[in-house]
Amino acid sequence: MQTVLVFLLASVALTVSPVVATSCDTKGATIEKSFFQSVHDCVEYLQIPKERLLQYLSSDFPPDDETKCLIYCVGVDLRWWNNTCGLQLPPIVSYFQPVHGDTGYEKRTKECLDRRVGAIQSPNNCCQAYETFQCYFQEFGNLVTCPQYVPLTKLQATQVALDCLVVLRYPEELLKVYASGKVEDSPETRCLYLCIDQRSGLYTHENGILLHRFFVRDAAYNDLRYLCKETKVCRDRIRNSGCDPCTEAYTTHVECLTGLGENGYTSGIITHAAQIALTNLGVPCVHPEEPCPICEPQHPPVHPVEPHYPEITYEKPHYPSPKQSCSACGKKYQHRPACGCAERPKSPEPVCSRCHKTPVYNKPSNTGYINFYKP
């Protein structure tokens, strides 16, 4: 019985493992995502009730505010919408398949966009993204349910380049050259291009440079020359020349992709990544540890002792009050000397020659003002 159970478990493992490997078969920072997987994620991001998820999975997207912002979230997640330029054509067309034999789908879609999106006056991104999606959903073709390539943002692409610089262990001298903006042909540069394309999902050993993904990467330019016959012939010629993968990737960039899409895209992210790498070299890995208070010997705090002095009371000395001055003369009383030991001194008298005279006001005279006193 136990042997049969082990056999059944092994059979299930063999059956499930290819599915798991296929679903996780990604390299580096490559992102492949289906439309409905993004819908599921946005339902969680926006905390929309789970009951509505079944409605959306049945391709029912009613024109309510909640659904409009859901479609806006899907557009941002799959890179076919941004708030700067609005619709990004290359990513959105990868999620719709025109009906075979239909030759008017592009014209109908454009007329729908002019009629429905162009009529929106308010800068409501949810409404604009929703109406854009409805035009492609109704006029362009059938919704593709399998995962599609999601282009990296410039920030994510720079991180990919930084990872490649670290993995390839390029010396500081070469980083300084890249950081100065000089990304010239060399064995190191060729392998760096290959590493970036591999981690970004733009190159595989089976197919080489994937031109349709470069077309989606440079979505803002909508450069159809990535998909033209001449570019494919150039790519195949270099791939069949027998050169090594590093040379194949770099030479394809130089000879086949120069002038297409965003000029200097890869060299630009290499320069930025090298600048970040040089900055990281100067950042210490371990911060200095502060001394542990438990490990240090503990001493009781020492507080200065203030001296204690006995309290001293001070009594103010008492002095006799002075005699009042003569109100008329302004002179103080003067005491006469004592007459003798047995003789009692008389009370002091003011020494003022004119104290008994009555003062009068100044009267004018022929020569000025003079004082007169009555006897």
* Whether residues 230 and 262 fall in one domain: yes
* Whether residues 229 and 254 fall in one domain: yes
Return the axis-axis angle of helices 35-45 and 65-77, rounded to nearest 10°: 120
Across the range 108-137, mean pLDDT stands at 92
Q: Does the CA dihedral 301-302-304-308 come out positive or negative?
A: positive
| 270 CB-near residues (< 8 Å, 6+ apart) | 161, 165, 178, 183, 192, 196
* Whether residues 169 and 67 fall in one domain: no
The pLDDT, as a whole number, for residue 28 is 73
* Whether residues 55 and 172 fall in one domain: no
**Boundary (domain end) residue, out of 87, 121, 150:** 150
* Whether residues 104 and 42 fall in one domain: yes
Residue 205 lies in a domain: yes
* Whether residues 57 and 40 fall in one domain: yes
* Whether residues 160 and 238 fall in one domain: yes
% of the chain residues with pLDDT over 70: 68
Residue 351 lies in a domain: no
| 94 CB-near residues (< 8 Å, 6+ apart) | 144, 148, 149, 216
* Whether residues 108 and 184 fall in one domain: no
- The model's confidence at residue 308, banded by pLDDT at 50, 70 and 90, is low
**Boundary (domain end) residue, out of 122, 150, 178:** 150
Contact between 151 and 92 (Cβ < 8 Å): no
pTM of the model: 0.69
Residue 46 sits in a domain of what CATH number? Answer: 1.10.238.20
| 92 CB-near residues (< 8 Å, 6+ apart) | 75, 78, 80, 81, 132, 133, 136
Q: With 0-12 CB in 10 A as exposed, 13-18 as middle and 19+ as buried, what is 23?
A: exposed
Token digits for 279? 């900055």
Token digits for 89? 């054509």
Q: What confidence tens digit (pLDDT) does each residue in 258-267 have? A: 999 999 999 9
Distance CA 142, CA 146 (A): 12
Contact between 220 and 85 (Cβ < 8 Å): yes
Q: Which helix (H) or strand (E) holds 88?
A: none
Residue 175 lies in a domain: yes
* Whether residues 163 and 224 fall in one domain: yes
More confident residue, 19 or 301: 301
Total domain count for the chain? 2
Residue 39 lies in a domain: yes
3-state secondary structure of 44: helix
63-72 exposure pattern, b = at least 16 Cβ within 10 A, e = fewer: eeeebbbbbb
Query: Does 18 score more than 50 pLDDT?
Result: no
* Whether residues 256 and 191 fall in one domain: yes
3-state secondary structure of 216: helix
Query: Does 313 score more than 70 pLDDT?
Result: no
- The model's confidence at residue 123, banded by pLDDT at 50, 70 and 90, is confident
Residue 97 lies in a domain: yes
Domain, as residue range, for 74: 31-150
* Whether residues 273 and 206 fall in one domain: yes
Residue 6 lies in a domain: no
The pLDDT, as a whole number, for residue 334 is 44
Residue 371 lies in a domain: no
Picking from 24, 28, 27, the residue whose alpha carbon sits closest to that of residue 166 is 28
The pLDDT, as a whole number, for residue 171 is 95
**Boundary (domain end) residue, out of 150, 169, 197:** 150
Distance CA 69, CA 124 (A): 10
* Whether residues 209 and 159 fall in one domain: yes
Residue 86 lies in a domain: yes
The pLDDT, as a whole number, for residue 170 is 96
